Amino acid sequence: MSEPLLQKNTRILLIWLAIVLLICSFLFYVVLLLHTHHMQEKQLLLKQQNVWDAFIEKSGNIERHITAEYDIVESAADKTIKLDEPRDTLLHLANRKKTLPFEMLTKNLQWNGRPYHITTYISSTEVSHLIAKVFITEAMILILLLLVIVILNRRSSGLLWKPFFSTMKKIKEYDITRNKPLDLPTETGTTEFNELNNAIADLTSNANTAYYNQKQFVENASHEMQTPLAIIRSKLELLINQPDLTEKAAYMLGDITEANDRLSQMNRTLLLLAKIENNQFPDTEEIKISQILKQTLDNFKRHYDEFPVLIMNIEDNALINANRSLIEILISNLLNNAIIHNQEKGKINITLQSSQLIIENTGLPLVINPEELFERFKKSSYQNKTTGLGLALVKQICQLYHYGLVYEYENGWHRLKVNFS
Amino acid sequence: MKLLVVEDESSLLQSISEYFTQEDFLCEGVLTYKEALNKIEAFDYDCIVLDINLPDGNGLKLLQYLRQYKKEDGVIIISARNSLDDKIAGLDLGADDYITKPFHLSELNARVKALIRRKYAQGANVLELGNLQLDLVSRNVTCGEQKIALTKNEYDLLAYLLNNKNRVVSKQAIAEHIYGDQSDNMPSFDFVYSQIKNLKKKLKEKGCDELVQTVYGLGYKLSL
């Protein structure tokens, strides 16, 4: 399970700091208790000393018993009393009509050869009040501390991670097909983030170079292929004009011509793809989609003797800003796709509504994975006369202009949706 | 008609020369920029077919030279780079036409002839074969005395075949000539077949149907 860094940090702080603070509070309480007991013992001893001093000075003529202060008892042989050790007790104070906790200490002392038990008392109430007050104050300070630590931590984390988040935002916006360098600051004020930015900048610049080289390779290779293709084509034209051409040779030449033509066509499409990738269609203008759509449809109808049944629902006002020839290519490829991959006596539905173009055609389900439909050279096995580049071209153009492109298959209908907005 | 072909690929140059020699052109071919410059300096040509990517120089410079010295030779650029910039640069420098590799020789032939007709008002503006006549100015087609009404595509097809008369023109060449880039996505050349069928039918009505011949599966030929 993952959660944001800040939240994770806060959660760890809240759990562990709270545990540590609880343990610390307990320790503090124990130590406080020990110290107060020690203090009470000292006070009891001091009082004992004072009372005994007074007892000896007055030769035993002092009050032998004052409630909550002291007792002097001529030592009977009471061995049950623990000596020299503070004990808890409850005393009833008659004047205040209350029974209160006291601490007492009994000592055995000798005077004129006779043993005496002298016991002194000290009130526990004040001390326990003090302990409670100190403990509450301490607890409040700790809670405050916890809060301050958490808040400070959140604040400083936000500040510390700021370069990281700005880098991440830029990486998210990065698109290798645009071939623009990723512009990251080299000085963020934090060594680790500097290193991160440098590493990412290196990575993307390498990827950019590789991508550029690959695009360049496709374009150059396509260009280089044009001349040999032209030679083959010209020789074929001379060959088919030879006077002594036999029928068998003619059919072979026909096949070669067709294959060579497909090669030329593929080559031209690859070049076009490379050019779109290399952004060589910068001129844009305002285009009415419906106009191009109708124009292309008219052309297609003239080309095909058996055009599939056409149902159109075209809204006239969809305008886009793009390169005209690219949009023509986009639409003619989509339409062509719907015609070629249709079945006999098939149908085509065309819907253009609020800048969404939907082209549906009847046909058998795809043999290939729908996700691979827009990849180059992916085609169904039974269609071997196509280049397998038509929909790749559509995808490339959609990518260039950030149009949405979706394929669906439902009840014998292939549906391609292009969202122009 | 004098034609100079500047093309660094010798086998392509040879094909172009052979094709145009058969068309009764006086055809000279050179492989380099230098040779081309020498030829252009020394002679005048009706048309120059110019590859702009030459090993020892840019063909566009030859074009500049021609225009600088006010030479009137018609120029058709052939280029492997189907880039709009090249095309615009070439046409700006005074080229008359532009064609991209790989092209059909029949297409190049049609363009050279069109250029020569345009530029010099030479050669009749009427293409004819037997009693079939096609007037390029008025766009009238007649068989004997009878006028034949053709659609735009059928007219283009007939003009193309007449420009390449007595030659087998492949279906692919016809498709590309009539539909241009749009022929790219055609899965078959059935539409060429149906255009030819319609054309033949119309010619037959007027008695010129013998002219269009189908050559196996390869293409079509217009001849007596």
Please report, for the domain that includes residue A360, its CATH number. 3.30.565.10
More confident residue, A49 or B209: A49
Best interface-test mutation with B: which of A225, A232, A237, A324 has the largest number of B CBs within 10 A? A237
CA of B159, closest CA in chain A: separation in Å? 19
List chain B residues with CB under 8 Å of A384: none
What would the pLDDT profile of A394-417 be if each residue is shown by its tens digit?
Answer: 998 998 888 999 998 888 899 999
B49 with B13: CB under 8 angstroms? no
Cβ(A200)–Cβ(A184) below 8 Å: yes
Query: A275 and A292 in one domain?
Result: no
Residue A162 forms part of a structural domain: no
Query: What is the distance between the alpha carbons of residues A167 and A193, in angstroms, rounded to a whole number?
Result: 9
> Do residue A312 and residue A376 come from a single domain?
yes
Same-domain pairing of A209 and A118:
no
CB distance from B80 to chain A under 8 Å? Answer: yes
Q: Are residues A313 and A407 in the same domain?
A: yes
A/B interface, count of CB pairs below 8 Å: 104
Average pLDDT of the residues of chain A? 86
* Closest CB from A231, A237, A261 relative to B106: A237
What is the C-alpha separation between B171 and B195, in angstroms, rounded? 11
| Chain-chain contact of A234 with B12 (C-beta, under 8 angstroms) | yes
* Residue among A299, A250, A287, A309 at smallest CA distance from A397: A287
Query: What residues does CATH 1.10.10.10 cover in chain B?
Result: 126-222
State the amino acid at position A82 in one-letter form.
K
- Lowest-pLDDT range, A38-47, A95-104, A163-172, B74-83? B74-83
Residue B38 has pLDDT above 90, yes or no: yes
Query: And the tokens for A208?
Result: 């950019």
Architecture of the B2-120 domain: 3-Layer(aba) Sandwich (3.40)
Mean pLDDT, to the nearest integer, of B189-197?
81
Q: Tell me which of A231, A259, A280 is where a domain ends.
A: A280
Q: Are residues A289 and A273 part of one domain?
A: no
**Residue A364: pLDDT over 90:** no
Percent of chain B with pLDDT over 70: 92
A382 against A123, higher pLDDT = A123
- Distance from B53 to chain A by nearest Cα, in Å? 11
Nearest to B12 by CA among B104, B113, B111, B83: B104
Q: What ipTM goes with this model? A: 0.87
For residue A264, give how far its alpha carbon lies from the nearest alpha carbon of chain B (Å): 7
Whether residues B102 and A299 touch (CB distance < 8 A) is answered with no
pLDDT in tens, B96-146: 999 988 899 999 999 999 898 888 765 568 888 888 888 888 888 888 888
pLDDT level of residue B28 (50, 70, 90 thresholds): very high
Q: Provide, as residue numbers in chain A, all residues whose Cβ is less than 8 Å from the Cβ of B16.
A: 234
pLDDT score of A315: 80
Distance (Å) from the alpha carbon of A223 to chain B's nearest alpha carbon:
6
The length of chain A is: 421
Residue B181 DSSP label? G
Reading the block at residue A337, the tokens are 């796709």
In a domain, A299, yes or no: yes
Mean pLDDT throughout A236-256?
90
- Residues of B with Cβ-Cβ distance to A386 under 8 angstroms: 187
pLDDT of residue A305: 67
Which percentage of chain A shows pLDDT scores above 90?
24
Q: How far does Cα A2 stand from its chain's mean position?
A: 8
Strands A413-419 and A356-362 come out as antiparallel
For B126-222, CATH gives 1.10.10.10
- Asked if residue A400 and residue A264 are part of one domain, the reply reads no
The residues of chain B that CATH labels 3.40.50.2300 are 2-120
Tokens of B34: 């230098």
Contact A232 B186 (CB under 8 A): no
Q: Does the model's pTM come out above 0.95?
A: no
A148 and A198 belong to one structural domain: no
Provide the 8-state DSSP code for B187: S
Q: Are residues A182 and A197 in the same domain?
A: yes
Q: What is the pLDDT of residues A153-201, one digit of tens each?
A: 889 988 888 999 999 999 998 888 777 788 888 888 889 999 999 999 9
- pLDDT, tens digit (0-9, with 9 covering 90-100), for A193-210: 999 999 999 999 999 899
How close is the nearest chain A Cα to the Cα of B164, in Å?
11
Whether residue A354 sits in one domain with residue A215: no
What domain count does chain A have? 3
- pLDDT of amino acid B47: 92
Give buried/exposed letters for B1-12 (b at 16+ CB in 10 A, else e).
bebbbbbbbeeb
Q: Identify whether residues A273 and A370 lie together within a single domain.
A: no
Q: Does B164 touch chain A (CB under 8 A)?
A: no
Residue A298 has pLDDT above 90, yes or no: no
Residue B186's pLDDT is 59
A257/B170 touch (CB, cutoff 8 Å), yes or no:
yes
| Span A206-229, average pLDDT | 87
What confidence tens digit (pLDDT) does each residue in A307-341 have?
Answer: 788 888 888 777 888 888 889 889 988 988 888 88
